[in-house]
Amino acid sequence: MSEATLAAQTYGDVLASVASSSPVPGGGSVSALNGATAAALVEMVAAASARKKSLAERAEDLESLAESARNYRQALLVLADRDAAAYGAVSAAYKLAKVTPDEQAARNAAIQLALQHACDVPLETAKAGMAVLHLAMAVAEMGNPAAITDVAVGAMTAAAGIEGAILNVRINLFEITDPDYRAACIEELQEVQADLDDEAAAMRTLIGGIAPMAVTGDV
């Protein structure tokens, strides 16, 4: 991966970094980038809707939604880099010396600590992605109906990022031995998944009410 943060790279350079032979940025970072992309779409629709005269009475609320989306866009870009760093820490821990019993104990402790961090980051990504999905729902309800497609794509992109982040947590959790940490993490994952399922269904219903052909396929 380039030494430059993902946020500092052009979109083309980010894709080239993902496509490179380096293991990072990988799926965890891409999940966060999905969330950031979704937030950008939500931000755009909220800001554009706030400028419409016909929505003047909602302008303040829409501007607030746009600001929240902007904050999550920036936070998710940071999470994309943090995920790559977390992978690096896990990789480094596995490379520690393991000849003596003391070295083995230190290595195992380092691996467990790094794996927990590698779960914490995508879990944070999933939660941030859920916040973006909630914002998308609010913008879909309040914003310009003509921009429902953009909001819908933002919602679907956020959902993909959340699912990817959840998958990364589960994969890393498999090797963690601390039962309390595992239980707490699984509980949080279940809450995020339930929230995602509910919000995705609500978004689909809302889109169907605004643009039925987008859901039914009838044209």
Domain boundaries, the chain: 27-212
> CA 170 to CA 154: how far, in whole Å?
24
Fold classified for 27-212: Four Helix Bundle (Hemerythrin (Met), subunit A) (1.20.120)
Residue appearing with tokens 């520690």: 96
pLDDT band at 217 (very low <50, low <70, confident <90, very high): low
Q: Give me the pLDDT at residue 2, please.
A: 45
How does pLDDT run across 30-64, given as a tens digit for each residue? 999 999 999 999 999 999 999 999 999 999 999 99
Q: Where are the alpha helices (DSSP H) in 143-217?
A: 148-173, 179-210, 212-216
Q: What is the per-residue pLDDT for 206?
A: 87
> Looking at residue 60, what is its pLDDT?
97
User: What is the average pLDDT value for the chain, to the nearest integer?
Assistant: 94
Describe the crossing of helices 148-173 and 179-210 by its angle, rounded to 10 degrees. Answer: 160
Q: Give the mean pLDDT of 143-152.
A: 94
